[in-house]
A and B are shown apart, each in its own frame.
Chain A
Amino acid sequence: MSAITRDEVAHLAQLARLAVTDSELDHFAAQLDVILNSVARVAEVAADDIPPTTHAVPLTNVLRPDEPGSCLDRDTVLLAAPATEQGRFRVPRILDIEE
């Protein structure tokens, strides 16, 4: 497996919504490279015809009766919100200013 570059780490951080600093980029690039080289060992196992396991104890079609139950009330939920407005979550702008 090829080494991971500083630019790739910056791209990963952007995908993962992490505003990492320049010094962190250097630090993480070196560490992620070592970790990824180590875990790449899984490729040594011949497993072409082996089905993947997503859950250790597989369950399928877990159903329950479609009946209304109780839920948290709005005021209780909004108590934990970082910002609220008019009984709703207030979020940062999602459009550019000029739009």
Chain B
Amino acid sequence: MSDFIGRGAAELAGLVADGTASAREITQAHLDRIATTDDRVHAFLRVDVEGALAAADAVDARRAAGERLPALAGVPIAVKDIVVTKGIETTAASKILRGWIPPYDATIVTKLRAAGLIMLGKTNLDEFGMGSSTENSAYGPSRNPWDLLRTPGGTSGGSSAAVAAYQAPLAIGTDTGGSIRQPASLTGIVGHKPTYGAVSRNGLIAFSSSLDQAGPFARTVLDTALLHQVIAGHDAADSTSLDQPVPGVVDAVRLGGSADLTGVTVGVVSNLAGDGYESGVVEATQSTVIRLEQLGAKVVEVSCPHFDYALAAYYLIAPSECSSNLARFDAMRYGLRVGDDREASLESVMARTREAGFGAEVKRRIMIGTYALSSGYYDAYYGQAQKVRTLIGRDFTAAFETCDVLVSPTSPTVAFRLGERTDDPLAMYAADLCTLPASLAGVPAISVPCGISDGLPVGLQIMAPVLADDRCYRVAAALEASMDTPVLAAAPAL
């Protein structure tokens, strides 16, 4: 294994900046790592060898010309295949987009390229971001590097698997109901869902527009913050983008690195525990809370009664927005077209294309959303879910009056076996139990590795008020600094 594999993004960028290593060598090492491991992990849907090496050469040329490089220049990154990339096939893991070559880059991809990051390829996900395990990918599931028979989480499971398997030091994910945090937790890495609107959605293939948010994955809290800083910020191309300064997440990591949480009040959410939570996860969470107290934090228990209804509200709101957003896949302007024999009607071509192009979970959600939005049911389902969403937001507001951050397990269980939940949609939805409240309220939340149960990693979720992402990073960094060895070090070698 090359010397560059396993090193973090900050370290690799330092090697490039001071001329110890070229971006090309580092990129090639990661491409080699992908080549020797991805037949087992299946993190990537496609690897862009030529594009990656060309981008690396460009960074090396900039350095040779005496240019001062941006903070993460020359560092390889994996990007979830729901983020559009100019000239590189983007499918959202759906058959309906097989072969689609986007004519533009997502805003975050433009930012990554400008910052000199080297895009290695596009990672696997549950189709259109709907699922919790990558098993809804039309191209087969990704596997957890800790145990290849288990899920790396979802929907950004390709991204989490790539980082945990040392194929890339960084990755981009998207999180609608937990799709960054849960995969981070299940693979023993760090993943952050920024405040809704903090990172541009322009060029993210939309699933549930009021919830979708892109964010960073890395193996350390510092690397996660460095990537956060690259992708965050206002974008006029996204009308829901917040025109606010990016919180000082990197400074927060340095502050947290002292492992001193004096003056920080941590609220333990009593509603995110109980039935359905594995005892090993509960124990790891409890001992982590004790550790936070030892680091100087004041710990209190808080009740957020409406969190109990987050799962029901989410699985009405997200499918409703999905049924509307996915209407764009109409077989007319791009993507698959089935049954067009010049005789068949428009409606029949649309229906046959969508039948052939969408997987079962996507069809289920489109139909649930269609039902929830239909007249006669609207008030009882979608309308009521939106009111519950308000009450969940109020629970957060009340809790943040006394607490700086709230904590819970990220996932009620450790990584489950592939195939275990595929026939039971509700069991799959339950994987999002802890992550949904922050999604519905739009507040930032990070998952940071905090322990091991049954030989598999456990993550702690740290939630903060809107635009206080820095608090998530500070507490996560303090926790990381207090641990002797990283959780990921316990993963078996691939």
Contacts and interface: CB of A to CB of B under 8 A. Distances in A.
A77 B365 CA distance: 29
Contact of A42 (B101, B309, B332): B309
Contacts of A35: 315, 364, 368, 425-426
Nearest to B390: A53
B312 A32 contact: no
A28 B367 contact: yes
Interface in B239-291: 239-240, 242
A73 to B, nearest CB: 9
B122 interface: no
B334 A42 contact: no
Contacts, number: 189
A80 B333 contact: yes
A77 to B, nearest CB: 6
Interface residues of B, number: 73
Contacts of B345: 92-94, 96
User: For chain A, what secondary structure do more than half of its interface residues adopt (helix, strand, loop), or is it mixed?
Assistant: loop
Interface in A41-78: 41-45, 47, 50-57, 59, 62, 64, 72, 76-77
Given A31-B425, A44-B309, A45-B384, A82 B103 contact: no
Nearest to A34: B426
Q: For A9, A19, A31, A53, which residue has the most chain B Cβ atoms within 10 angstroms?
A: A53
Given A43-B384, A52-B387, A16 B370 contact: yes
A36 interface: yes
B313 interface: yes
A31 B364 contact: yes
Contacts of A55: 196, 210, 240, 442
Contact of B367 (A9, A72, A93, A97): A9
B488 to A, nearest CB: 31
A3 interface: no
B383 A45 contact: no
Interface of B: 100-104, 195-197, 210-211, 236, 239-240, 242, 306, 309, 311-313, 315-316, 323, 327, 330-337, 340, 342-352, 354-355, 358, 363-364, 366-368, 370-371, 374, 380-381, 383-391, 393, 425-426, 440-443, 466
12 contacts: A21-B355, A40-B381, A43-B380, A47-B384, A52-B390, A53-B386, A56-B441, A56-B443, A79-B103, A82-B337, A92-B345, A93-B343
Across the A-B interface, give the 10 residue pairs with the lowest CB-CB distance, nearest first: A56-B442, A52-B386, A82-B337, A47-B387, A19-B351, A80-B334, A19-B355, A53-B389, A41-B312, A50-B387
Given A24-B363, A45-B306, A82-B331, 5 more contacts: A12-B367, A16-B367, A57-B197, A80-B335, A97-B343
